[in-house]
Amino acid sequence: MHQNKIGWDVGGAHLKAAWVNSAGEVEAVYQEACHLWEGLHTLENALATILKKLPIEDTLHAVTMTGELVDLFTTRAQGVTAIIKLMQKVLPPQTLRIYAGRLGFLAPENITTEQMDDIASANWLASASYVAQQVETGIFIDIGSTTTDILLLQQQKVAAQGYTDFKRLQSDELVYTGLVRTAVMAVAQSVYFRGVKVGLMSEYFATMADVYRVTGELHEKNDQTETADGGAKTPEASAMRLARMLGCNAEEFSFNQWQQLAYTLKEQQLYRIQQAVEKQLSRVDSRENMVLVGAGIGRFLVQAIALRVGVSYQDFDSFFHTEHAQPDMQIADCAPAVAVAYLA
């Protein structure tokens, strides 16, 4: 019997890992920047960094992914294959299991071409399936650096309407907006600023990370992506980038006014996510006994939505009882990695 389980979530921008010990406790979670679009070496380097902190003997490795989406790969199947081959190269093959969503876990040597679609971008199902085991009726919402997953849970099952990203984008169970990497121009086309409506430039001048640095809601440990201009990750530098979106310089107005702009942009992103949550709520007869379960670095937004829609909030962290300190990351920041370790 394996003593430890390591859950891996291979993303396009980050690699996340969760170590569940032999007692079934989360020993630690880790995240490393991994710009997979720059090449497979970025994933190999991130793996090496995290593996130095993990046990080697008697360990089962469970892998889920979204990294196959990056434009390094011509097709998603090519991406899945390349990621699995690299994981086989780095990890002991006999200890490796690949999460294939509805198909469960597969040994890498037995995977067929027909199973690629089940493996691709299935990390949301791992998280939602784990939460469904803990919650009778609710909605699981994971707001990460790039995307938001919104899944209805009924009778302790995931009541997903879509499985592929294409179908999930149609059902609003996948909303392509996140706390860090999303361009501001993808969130809003205009804003009210100093009492007038101002159009925003359709340029990659600023990201939502700038917004949440200015509001003070983005923790440094979650801020692992380069800024739009390659500049500093300070509130002042972020205000400068937001000012560029309005065609002006930051010094033309006070920092407090740029903070007001940041809250306006936050509100537009929050409204988009709330609309998708309302869509899932409309599928149930009553909101009584419903709970919104929040995960990801943006789960403070889920708390805000829960208040607005009159539903109670529960944090993903609350499902775990661990005495181990988490100095770098919280369990809920790496929900798919944690979930896939437990499901394995």
Contact 174, 128 (CB under 8 A): no
Cα gap 242→125, rounded to integer Å: 35
- What are the tens digits of pLDDT across the range 111-140? 999 999 999 999 999 999 999 999 999 999
Domain definitions of the chain by residue range? 4-125+319-343, 184-270
CA atoms within 13 A on the CB side of 226: 8
Alpha helices in the chain (DSSP H): 40-51, 76-90, 116-119, 123-132, 165-171, 208-214, 235-245, 255-281, 299-309, 335-343
pLDDT bin (cut points 50, 70, 90) of residue 1 is low
Domains 4-125+319-343 and 184-270 alike in fold = yes
Give the percent of the chain with pLDDT over 70.
97
What dotted CATH number matches 4-125+319-343?
3.30.420.40
SS3 31: strand
Asked if CATH classification 3.30.420.190 holds for the domain at 184-270, the reply, yes or no, is: yes
Cα gap 252→195, rounded to integer Å: 16
pLDDT at 79: 97
pLDDT at 3: 84
Contact 205, 245 (CB under 8 A): yes
